[in-house]
């Protein structure tokens, strides 16, 4: 079937794509070396000259750049063009430490819009769609990114921003939104609101493009059911541009990385060594087309694996499997590695919704971990088990998933704060001491 809009570059044979990457990388390294003092010094220190980079096979020679480097260089240290050539900034949410500010030229914005447009098309979007964007607008990249992509596809764009669920539902029903763009946690929240108000037959949504935070397959399934849509994953980060660095196609089996703009590597987070395809490690990106803020070998701290296996959609770009979170999302509790996504899987498999919170604390020298999860309204109305029985069952499920005893508290519906943007799943009180 002919796609509504799909640049040939997305289906280019891999060898050609890699030749293009090599050509762009060589130019970019020279550009960055000439224009960013920080890189110039870092490459000199490492004894690398721009001419040493002849293609993607030499990428591993370049030094990494980390979030700490970005913080040290705040605000202008990594700018590669005169400030007067920049037209926009965006910023990370900066929950820990200094915010990171990224700069964009008009060309950088255009390429970002292009990536988001490709994501919308991959989710089945055409100019006939009504694209309801309730990612936050402002410094956060979610809203502006999908907004730009939606314009580019030619959809009618509803720049809703996040929050005010009543208004979201009103516009969604009155204007017949067909594509929903927001965080998966807000999508779950909207799904709940739609069903509570009996609006499922009144909405026209067919697809959702959800990202900016980790979410499990179980959560995808719940959202698809509650809104009657197909839910697609989208990934990105402010440092590299924003959402659209990679996105899912109709296969919903990993996100295609936009390799004409970004080169991805997977490294061993401890040694920095590049790992072979298929191994799980830290994702590293090199921007080969961006001008204002072109990071080379940026360590994302996101852990995932890549695959070049052929995808039935025809896209040749490498796929990244759902990241299970950042290396810093992993908690060490009672000496064991715990990922919030593992807990989510256990809860959703036992029929709960993604309304849960994890509280980690320390009593004396011992870690404590408690998971609070809401009863669904059906569970509260037609109890088939007592709360004590439910808690016991979850404790057993978590024990077999994590290998440790987790305290579980099943709470009444609507006790846990709903998220409008990125959900805060973990409260780690140990950091307060």
Residues lying near Zn ion in the complex (CB under 5 A): 249, 251, 311, 313, 315
What, of ligand ADP, Zn ion, none, does residue 238 touch, CB below 5 to 8 Å by kind? ligand ADP
DSSP characters over 51-98: GG--SGGGGGGSPPB-HHHHHHTTTTTT--S-GGGEEEEEE---SSSS
What, of ligand ADP, Zn ion, none, does residue 213 touch, CB below 5 to 8 Å by kind? ligand ADP
What, of Zn ion, ligand ADP, none, does residue 281 touch, CB below 5 to 8 Å by kind? none
Min dist CB 163 to ligand ADP, Å, is 17
- Between residues 3 and 151, which has the closer beta carbon with respect to Zn ion? 3
What, of ligand ADP, Zn ion, none, does residue 320 touch, CB below 5 to 8 Å by kind? none
Min dist CB 95 to ligand ADP, Å, is 6
Binding site for ligand ADP (CB under 6 A): 92-94, 141, 211-214, 233-238, 300, 302, 323, 326
b/e per residue 22-59 (b: at least 16 CB within 10 A): bebbbebbebbbebbebbeebbeeeebebeebeebeeb
The CA distances from residue 15 to 12, 20, 56, 61, 258, in Å, are: 8, 9, 12, 21, 15
What, of Zn ion, ligand ADP, none, does residue 212 touch, CB below 5 to 8 Å by kind? ligand ADP
Min dist CB 397 to ligand ADP, Å, is 23
- Between residues 24 and 324, which has the closer beta carbon with respect to ligand ADP? 324
Rounded to 5 degrees, what are φ and ψ at 222?
-60, -45
- Between residues 99 and 393, which has the closer beta carbon with respect to ligand ADP? 99
Min dist CB 124 to Zn ion, Å, is 13
Min dist CB 226 to ligand ADP, Å, is 19
Min dist CB 239 to ligand ADP, Å, is 7
Rounded to 5 degrees, what are φ and ψ at 355?
-110, 90
Q: Tokens standing for 337? A: 């590695």
- Between residues 191 and 242, which has the closer beta carbon with respect to ligand ADP? 242
Rounded to 5 degrees, what are φ and ψ at 105?
-85, 175
What, of Zn ion, ligand ADP, none, does residue 40 touch, CB below 5 to 8 Å by kind? none
Q: Tokens standing for 319? A: 């796929």
Q: Cα–Cα distance between 268 and 395 in angstroms, integer?
A: 33
Please check whether residue 430 is in contact with residue 367, taking contact to mean a CB–CB distance below 8 angstroms: yes
Q: Tokens standing for 4? A: 């509504």
Strands 207-211 and 242-248, sheet pairing: unpaired
- Between residues 21 and 141, which has the closer beta carbon with respect to ligand ADP? 141
**Residue with tokens 């704060």, as numbered in its chain:** 417
What, of Zn ion, ligand ADP, none, does residue 190 touch, CB below 5 to 8 Å by kind? none
- Between residues 80 and 219, which has the closer beta carbon with respect to ligand ADP? 219
Min dist CB 293 to ligand ADP, Å, is 13
- Between residues 158 and 257, which has the closer beta carbon with respect to Zn ion? 257
């Amino acid at each position: 079937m002919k796609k509504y809009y799909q640049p040939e570059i997305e289906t280019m044979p891999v060898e050609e794509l890699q030749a293009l990457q090599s050509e762009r990388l060589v130019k970019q390294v020279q550009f960055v070396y000439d224009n960013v003092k920080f890189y110039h010094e870092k490459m000199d220190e490492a004894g690398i000259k721009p001419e040493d980079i002849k293609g993607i096979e030499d990428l591993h020679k370049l030094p990494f750049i980390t979030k700490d480097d970005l913080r040290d260089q705040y605000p202008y240290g990594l700018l590669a063009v005169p400030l007067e050539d920049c037209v926009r900034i965006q910023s990370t949410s900066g929950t820990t430490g200094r915010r990171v500010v990224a700069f964009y030229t008009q060309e950088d914005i255009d390429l970002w819009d292009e990536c988001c447009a490709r994501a919308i098309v991959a989710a089945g979007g055409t100019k006939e769609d009504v694209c309801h964007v309730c990612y936050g607008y402002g410094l956060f990249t979610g809203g502006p990114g999908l907004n730009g992509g939606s314009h580019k596809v030619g959809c009618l764009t509803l720049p809703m921003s996040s929050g005010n669920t009543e208004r979201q539902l009103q516009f969604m029903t009155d204007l017949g939104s067909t594509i929903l763009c927001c965080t998966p946690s807000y999508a779950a929240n909207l799904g709940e609101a739609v069903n509570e108000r009996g609006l499922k037959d009144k909405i026209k949504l067919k697809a959702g493009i959800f990202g900016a935070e980790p979410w499990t397959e179980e959560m995808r399934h719940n959202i698809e059911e509650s809104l009657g849509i197909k839910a697609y994953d989208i990934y990105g980060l402010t440092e590299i541009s924003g959402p659209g660095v990679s996105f899912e196609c109709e296969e919903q089996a990993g996100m295609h990385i936009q390799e004409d703009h970004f080169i991805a590597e997977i490294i061993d987070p401890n040694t920095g060594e590049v790992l072979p395809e298929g191994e799980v490690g830290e994702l590293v990106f090199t921007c080969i087309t961006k001008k204002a803020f072109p990071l080379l070998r940026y360590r994302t701290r996101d852990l995932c694996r890549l695959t070049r296996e052929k995808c039935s959609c025809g896209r040749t770009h490498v796929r990244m499997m759902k990241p299970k979170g950042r290396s810093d999302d992993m908690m060490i509790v009672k000496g064991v590695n715990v990922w919030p996504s593992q807990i989510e899987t256990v809860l959703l498999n036992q029929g709960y919704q993604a309304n849960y919170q994890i509280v980690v604390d320390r009593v004396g020298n011992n870690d404590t971990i408690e998971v609070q999860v809401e009863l669904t309204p059906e569970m509260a109305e037609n109890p088939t088990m007592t709360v004590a029985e439910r808690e016991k069952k979850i404790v057993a499920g978590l024990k077999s998933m994590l290998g440790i005893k987790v305290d579980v508290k099943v709470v009444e519906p609507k006790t846990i704060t709903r998220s409008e943007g990125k959900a805060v799943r973990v409260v780690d009180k140990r950091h307060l001491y």
